[in-house]
Amino acid sequence: MSRKPVPARSGDRSRVEVSFDKPQMLPRLFGEFDSNLLALEERLGVYITARGDRVGIEGSAEAVAHAREVLQELHHRILRGEDVDTGLIEAVIAMADQPTLDGIVRADGGSGNAPPSIMIRTRKKTIVPRTVAQAAYMRQLVSSDIIFALGPAGTGKTYVAVAQAVAQLITGSVQRLILSRPAVEAGERLGFLPGDMKEKVDPYLRPLYDALYDCLPAEQVERRISSGEIEIAPIAFMRGRTLADAFVILDEAQNTTPAQMKMFLTRFGQNSRMVVCGDPNQTDLPGGVSASGLADATARLEGVEGIAFARFGAADVVRHPIVGRIVEAYEGKDA
């Protein structure tokens, strides 16, 4: 690596060297053409050099300490089998600013290269928390009966819930996985779309399918849908049912009416878990519908025993970093 050093204020310059075990893993840490190190340099304002199993970090004392912690954490993640991408780098940078970083990935039960205790195993991948809020959310998914996950897009609300549902289906903790969301965008126009009802509403349920295919092999998804173990349907199809022995997820819940939300929540049955995901700031209800079922339920159910709330913000966005900045810009303008 040979790049122009990042300038630092006079008297505020610091340099450290970090060595890593298992140098054969370092290409994954550095990224193709050192892309991961370049990303860290840009984000943290440091200058990084790599020689053998040693990495030099130069910059302000605070930035150097931050970069060292991030590199060490990324290395731990690689040794646990995780892939380093832009989302993980941003997540670890954000968590390194939190005093609870060690509690998420080490002190919570794992240490060093041992797997963390907070994780979700599916057929295709193992999911570990990428933010402080995700770690708390994962705990709630195994301890509470009904969980409301509130926050902007890209924070992993639905994805993590689907992964937990798949894990419980695989282990036999539940017998069915039911995924639902309101088809608000379709409205009365469904009748003008070609195909049967399934073909008409499937486009609105596609994000749920995508999460499923990311956690299970395609043939297993299709087989379990055919057998009824996995059901994906609009919220209207939940009316009149009791959802027992099931992991039930409602996505885009901000687009429900209070009546729909009440109907959905009262479907809860024995040996079930229910997750309600939505962004209170992004309601797409049609004109004339003034109240969101998600906002109404949040106001009514906060503090009710057995019901937990997981709240996410722009800092928890684990998609491309620009998504978090977009969320912050819109939230700031709305405020």
Output 61-65 pairs: Cβ under 8 A, ≥24 positions apart: 61/12, 61/14, 64/14, 64/15, 64/16, 65/14, 65/16
> Rounded to the nearest 5°, which phi and psi values hold at 89?
-60, -45
Kindly state whether residues 306 and 161 are assigned to the same domain: yes
Using a 10 angstrom Cβ sphere, with 0-12 exposed, 13-18 middle and 19 or more buried, the burial of residue 270 is: exposed
pLDDT of residue 261: 94
Who contacts 264 (Cβ-Cβ below 8 Å, separation ≥6)? 180, 235, 238, 250, 256, 276
Residue 238 sits in the same domain as residue 307: yes
The model's pLDDT over 76-119, given as tens digits with 9 standing for 90+, comes to: 888 877 778 777 787 777 666 544 333 333 334 344 444 445 77
E-strand ranges in 188-279 read 230-234, 246-250, 273-278
Q: Whole-number mean pLDDT of the chain?
A: 80
Residues 154 and 54 in one domain: no
Residues 241 and 307 in one domain: yes
3-class SS of residue 163:
helix
Residue 314 pLDDT class (50, 70, 90 cuts) = confident
Same structural domain, 135 and 257:
yes
Same domain, 55 and 127: no
Identify whether residues 25 and 126 lie together within a single domain.
Answer: no
317 burial level (CB within 10 Å; 0-12, 13-18, 19+)? buried
Q: Rounded to an integer, what distance in angstroms lies between the CA atom of residue 214 and that of residue 123?
A: 9
Shared-domain flag, residues 170 and 209: yes
Query: 282: helix, coil or strand?
Result: coil
pLDDT of 320: 63
Condensed to tens digits (0 to 9), the pLDDT of residues 116-133 reads 457 787 877 777 787 888
Confidence band of 232 (pLDDT split at 50, 70, 90):
confident
> 158: domain range?
120-334
Position 5 scores a pLDDT of 47
